[in-house]
Amino acid sequence: MTPPPILRTLPDLRALTRGWHRQGETIGVVPTMGALHDGHLSLVEAAKARCDRVIVTIFVNPKQFNNPDDLARYPRTEEDDAAKLARFSIDALYAPGAEQIYPDGFATTVSVSGLTDVMEGAHRPGHFDGVATVCTKLFTQTSATDAFFGDKDFQQLQVVTRLARDLDLPITIHGCPTIRDIDGLALSSRNLLLSDRARTIAPRLFEEMEGIAEGLAKGQAFEELQRAAIARLERAGFTGVDYLDLRAADDLSQLDTPTRPARLFAAAWLAGVRLIDNIAV
Ligand code: PAF
């Protein structure tokens, strides 16, 4: 078990991938912002199973944070991350400085319309422009043939899939199942910011979403299920629910009954930490 080679610059990354391309090897990329957990590691596993070469990227992307405090307190744990990756024998950990991604004079924004108007896009202005721009950079810098994203950020997965298709990027985007803790809480780097007490309350979000899914399956009205779930979350200690929506899985349009493949999406605040989750219904 050896930690992966860590590359910091684009020329070093290109020098490595050039040979792989010459041999016709497939390259899987797992883009992350670090603070790796089992959800990320499941993406690495999926990439290893599918691709000849695997690159994990760690870059805390300032352009996708609409709140400077959120950026400042985002967990940064690179040494631990490299240690966690050791057992996967990946080919490289690309952890570039900001100047490798956004060099002086950088003036381009990749913006996906429509899908980004709702939910995270509506609550975090500029967030998806930042995600779309950095993913485009990471795809072209790594020259990956495949990229792996979690269903946990389902809207992000849809946005990245759309941009790859619209820009004819020669890459296949793969969505991988959300990984949950034993009590149902979806794994997220932000869970590290929860106090012990908040951590005991956090699984209520998933519980309420499952309750709504069961209610829908019995034919109950979404609006009533939604109203009752929000009230219970607030009583449990959540300080606000940004959204608890039923939406079509393909174009994210709002639904009041799951008449086509649909998902429930939630974002809620607990002790100053914003949790998001989604499930198929
Ligand atoms: O999901 C994340 O961690 C980030 O949004 C991503 C895809 C690495 C882009 O910075």
Euclidean distance between CA atoms 218 and 224, whole angstroms: 13
How does DSSP assign 36-103, residue by residue?
Answer: --HHHHHHHHHHHHH-SEEEEEE---GGG-S-HHHHHHS---HHHHHHHHGGGT-SEEE---HHHHS-
pLDDT band with cut points at 50, 70 and 90 for residue 3: confident
The residue to which tokens 């985007």 are assigned: 173
Q: How confident is the model at residue 2 (pLDDT cuts 50, 70, 90)?
A: confident
Please report which confidence band the pLDDT of residue 73 belongs to, taking 50, 70 and 90 as the band edges: very high
Most ligand 1 atoms within 8 A of CB, residue of 29, 43, 93, 134 to mutate: 134
Q: Do residues 163 and 233 share a domain?
A: no
SS3 helix, strand, coil % of the chain, rounded to 5?
45, 20, 35
**Is there a domain that residue 76 lies in?**
yes
Among this protein's residues, is 40 annotated catalytic?
yes
- 65 lies in a domain? yes
Mean pLDDT of 33-40: 97
Structure token digits, residue 110: 């990749």
**Among 125, 143, 176, which residue terminates a domain?**
176
* 106 and 220 share one domain: no
Question: 228 and 162, same structural domain?
Answer: no
Ligand 1 centre from 51 Cα, in Å? 20
Which three-class secondary structure state does DSSP give residue 159?
helix
**From ligand 1's centre to the CA of 100, what distance in Å?**
17
Identify the domain containing residue 135 by its residue range.
6-176
Strands (E), 66-218: 92-94, 146-150, 172-176
Question: Does residue 32 line the site of ligand 1, with CB under 6 A?
Answer: yes
Mean pLDDT of the 233-238 span: 98
Residue bearing the CA closest to ligand 1, atom 8: 32
CA separation for the pair 59, 62 (Å, rounded): 9
Region 24-41: mean pLDDT is 98
Among protein residues, the one whose CA lies closest to atom 9 of ligand 1:
131
Of 21, 37, 40, 174, which residue is the catalytic one?
40
Token pair for 102: 């956004």
Q: Would you call 7 exposed, middle or buried from its count of C-beta atoms within 10 A (0-12, 13-18, 19+)?
A: buried
183 belongs to a structural domain: no
Q: What does R_g of the chain's alpha carbons equal in angstroms?
A: 19
Average model confidence (pLDDT) across the chain: 97
Q: Using one digit for the tens of pLDDT, what is the confidence trace for 120-135?
A: 999 999 999 999 999 9
| CATH number of the domain enclosing 143 | 3.40.50.620
Q: Give yes or no: residues 172 and 257 share one domain.
A: no
Of the CA atoms within 13 Å of residue 191, those in its CB half-sphere come to 20
Is 12 inside any structural domain? Answer: yes
Estimate the crossing angle of helix 10-22 against helix 127-142, to 10 degrees.
Answer: 50
Query: Does the C-beta of 142 come closer than 6 Å to ligand 1?
Result: no
Mean pLDDT across 137-146: 98
CATH of the domain at 195: 3.30.1300.10
Residue 1 within any structural domain of the chain: no
- Would you state the pLDDT for residue 1? 78
**Residue 163 domain-assigned?**
yes
Q: How many residues does the chain have?
A: 281
Counting ligand 1 atoms within 8 A of each CB, the residue from 33, 133, 190 with the most, and so the one to mutate, is: 33
Give the domain-ending residue among 176, 198, 223: 176
Average pLDDT over every residue of 38-60: 98
Out of 117, 143, 176, a domain closes at 176
Residues 168 and 217 in one domain: no
The stretch 99-107 carries a mean pLDDT of 98
Residues 241 and 169 in one domain: no
pTM: 0.97
64 lines ligand 1 (CB under 6 A): yes
Same domain, 147 and 236: no
Q: How many CB atoms lie within 10 A of CB 191?
A: 18
Q: What is the pLDDT of residues 158-213, one digit of tens each?
A: 999 999 999 999 999 999 999 999 999 999 999 999 999 999 999 999 999 999 99
Question: Strands, DSSP E only, in 151-239?
Answer: 172-176
With a CB cutoff of 8 Å and minimum separation 6, the contacts of 43 are 30, 148, 149, 150, 176
Same domain, 127 and 92: yes
Q: Is the CB of 150 under 6 A from ligand 1?
A: no
If asked whether residues 112 and 54 sit together in one domain, one would say: yes
C-alpha 281 – ligand 1 centre gap (Å): 25
Angstrom CA distances, 250 to 79, 115, 159, stand at 38, 9, 11
Check whether residue 100 and residue 236 sit in a common domain: no
**Most ligand 1 atoms within 8 A of CB, residue of 41, 57, 128, 131 to mutate:** 131
Q: Is the CB of 188 within 6 Å of ligand 1? A: no
Which ligand 1 atom minimizes the distance to the CA of 135? 9
- Asked if 245 and 136 sit in the same domain, the reply is no
Q: How many domains does the chain have?
A: 2
